[in-house]
Structure 1
Amino acid sequence: MELVTIDDIKAAADRVRDFAVRTPLLPATWADPDRPLWIKPENLQPIGAFKIRGAFNTLARLDEPVRARGVVAYSSGNHAQAVAYAARTYGIPAYIVMPEDTPSVKVEKTRSYGAEVVLCPVGKREEYADDLVEKTGAVLVPPFDHPDVIAGQGTAGLEIAFDLPDVETVLVPVSGGGLASGVGTAIRALCPHARIYGVEPELAADATEGLAAGHRVDWPVADRNRTIADGLRSQPSDLTFAHLRKVVDGMITVTEDEIREAMRVLAYKSHLVTEPSGATAVAAYLKGAVPAGRTAAIVSGGNVNPQMLREILTA
């Protein structure tokens, strides 16, 4: 299996430069001085999440006649918005499959970019997407299981390496594993002494279990859907799992309460609105699971349901 390289990620950076925001590394002034923390706020991207990087890199790599047929994606929200936004930029159709339990804020935003949204039963996303590809002739843009998607997400790692070359620990949320695969590849190449940790909710810790076992494991959808971190309910593919085995030093799991507390800290102390999935890396830092040293944590997204945000911030 051919893995994404640092050259792939550097090429992706050139393609997405005009579309993805180069988010800064924000120092967390409230952090432990022995474990200084910098936050990579991908919630500040135009669509509110890092997924814009992989979407634009993938669409840019398509031949123009192929791209003109349109794109299909399946996603619980952030990849959906990213593909819809990129498709609108290119002036092509987008057909997006979203589970029926997707937060309404993500469904509405995806439609606002001009995409045709198809809601499906939980666990049927891929099946519905395959049907749409067959019916429309559009191209499938998977949420993580594609080298161009992984390379695009890896551009966030390039930026961390440039802004904090002496980083000692990097914390990355893990769902399907595309972000951690790309960022891990970039950090491993440019900051070889840094430690890279993936972070998952305890209630969706399939990657943690799989990496410990040395092979992918399957958790039922119903089990993974227990976590409030709806963006972290997917499982790694063979491709992303191979990347994770190569670039991740370890996994950290966080509880639902630790995720909620991280959202509160980010809102009140760093002035950042995050969704539960986006707060998991900071949750890992806050629980003290990170070694001493300079740490960078990726806040992967901020598309949170307003009612959920109110409940968490006022708890």
Structure 2
Amino acid sequence: MIGPQDVRDAAVLIAGVAERTPVQRSRALSRMIGADVWLKCENLQRAGSFKIRGAYTRMARLTDVEKAGGVVAASAGNHAQGVALAAGILGIDAVIFMPVDAALPKIAATRSYGAHVELVGTSVDEALVAAHEHAARTGAVLIHPFDHPDIAAGQGTVALEVLEQVPDAGTIVVPVGGGGLAAGVAAALADRPDVRVVGVQAARAAAYPASLAAGRPTPAPELRTMADGIAVGTPGDVPFEVLASHQVQVRTVSEEDLSRALLLVAERAKLVVEPSGAAAVAAVMADPRGIAAGDDRPVVCVLSGGNIDPLVLLRVVRHGLASAGRYLQLHVVVEDTPGALADLLRDVAAMGGNVMHVSHLRTGGDLGFSDVAVDLQIETKGPEHCGALLTGLRAAGYRLSSA
């Protein structure tokens, strides 16, 4: 178990290495819950996430002999960059095992900090197996992404900054993968029982709710989420013990929740975060009245990382726009006559819809001999506008369905 003093000691150790990241009040989220909501911007941290805090804490405490033997780590990207950066600062050789489908910008950034990268397996768990084998073979010290007291203590320094920046905070909402960040935050607040810690996992990569219910780390039934930074198969023993002993509640959010949250943070806060970094915001948006359990004191959402592949960002933003009712997918059946498509597009435009994509289909079970199906992707002004478009097109006699 780690406690507040362990976190305070880590804060002294990382001073001048990790940035003191800013907090930013979110008016949009504050209106949703009826209390102040602040964003703790760890996406602006060195190497793009909170991971440098724990990685440097762990590695700075190695002996000279251990440092000389090098370190090894496994990560989907953020821990990899944190370890690589810390190794460069401390003059330690680092080998990082990453899943083969890790985001290319994360791989490139890890290499740019001077680490040697090996691509292995399809998940962090498989990469960890390779890292353990490398450690056993070479004597390198394994820098675990979450399952070590020093890692959790370093990550917990986020909470110390939050207490200084938002001293009246009542709830801190934290993304959860293996649990190192949430455990560190809970440990830092062990002598502040008035401040709640709420963990958040992607529903499609959620090991903690079942693990906490069972009283032991239990593998997640699936790992299929856009939030690769928190897609961890099994909780770590160290963070699990801390979260269980402090009775930290861990909620889950859907892929739609994550994409909507990422979009809101980009649009309203002007901040770029990765899907896992938006998990805390997603939890607030999914349950605005229940997230603080009736407490009207400020809520702080930790934006844990901003290392997102631009291609993934493009897909997630599109998904978020669709989830928010800003895109409308229509399947319209019209007569296969000259001018029919032009009339349809003219009618959509007259109702304020902006057609982004058009495709034709001339065969299908719902088509007559003289029919053609037109699939439209339409940019709208929101859910109410979507409804008005559907009503208007049906009133004009079009046969249509939406998706």
Corresponding position: 1:18 with 2:22: no
- TM-score scaled by structure 1? 0.94
Structure 1 residue 206: Cα displacement: 1.2
Would the aligned equivalents of 1:95 and 1:115 in 2 still touch at CA under 8 Å?
Answer: yes
Pick closer, same or farther for the CA change 1:124–1:159 going to 2, 3 Å: same
Aligned to 2:238: 239
1:147-205 deviation line (CA, Å, top 9, x unaligned)? 1001000100111112222211110111100000001111232x321111110111112
The SS at the match of 1:31 is helix
TM-score by length of 2: 0.74
Tell me if structure 2 keeps the 8 A contact 1:262–1:280: yes
Distance in 2 between residues matched to 1:271 and 1:188, nearest whole Å = 33
Deviation at 1:248, TM superposition (A): 4.2
Structure number with the bigger relative contact order (C-alpha 8 A, sep ≥ 6) is: 1
Equivalent residue in structure 2 for 1:300, among 294, 299, 304: 304
Residue 118 of structure 2 corresponds to 118
Report if aligned partners of 1:56, 1:83 keep a CA contact under 8 Å in 2. yes
Using the alignment, how far apart are the partners of 1:174 and 1:268 within structure 2? 24
2:167 to 144, 160, 165: 165
- 1:95 lines up with 2:95 in the alignment: yes
Correspondence 1:184-223 to 2 at 5 A: 184-189=186-191, 191-220=192-221, 223=222
Secondary structure of the 2:243 match is helix
Alignment-derived partner of residue 64 in structure 1: 64
- Specify the structure having the higher radius of gyration (Cα): 2
Partner-residue secondary structure (3-state), 1:129: helix
- CA RMSD after TM alignment: 1.4
Letter in 2 for 1:260: S
Q: How many percent identity over aligned positions?
A: 42
User: Is the Cα contact below 8 Å between 1:173 and 1:200 reproduced in 2?
Assistant: yes
Most deviating of 291-300 and 36-45: 291-300
Deviation track 1:90-149 (CA, whole Å, cap 9, x = no partner) reads 122100011112111111111111111111112422221122223332211100110100
- The 5 A counterparts of 1:150-161 are 150-161=152-163
| Displacement after TM superposition at 1:28 (Å) | 1.0
- Corresponding residue pairs, total: 309
Equivalent position SS for 2:252:
strand
Matched residues in 2 for 1:201 and 1:283: separation? Answer: 10
Paired position in structure 2 for 1:181: 183
Alignment check: 8 A CA contact 2:174 2:199 kept: yes
Letter in 1 for 2:189: I
Equivalent residue for 1:127?
A: 129
Aligned position for 2:106: 106
Q: Indicate the residue corresponding to 2:341 in structure 1.
A: none
Moved segments of 4+, more than 4 Å? none
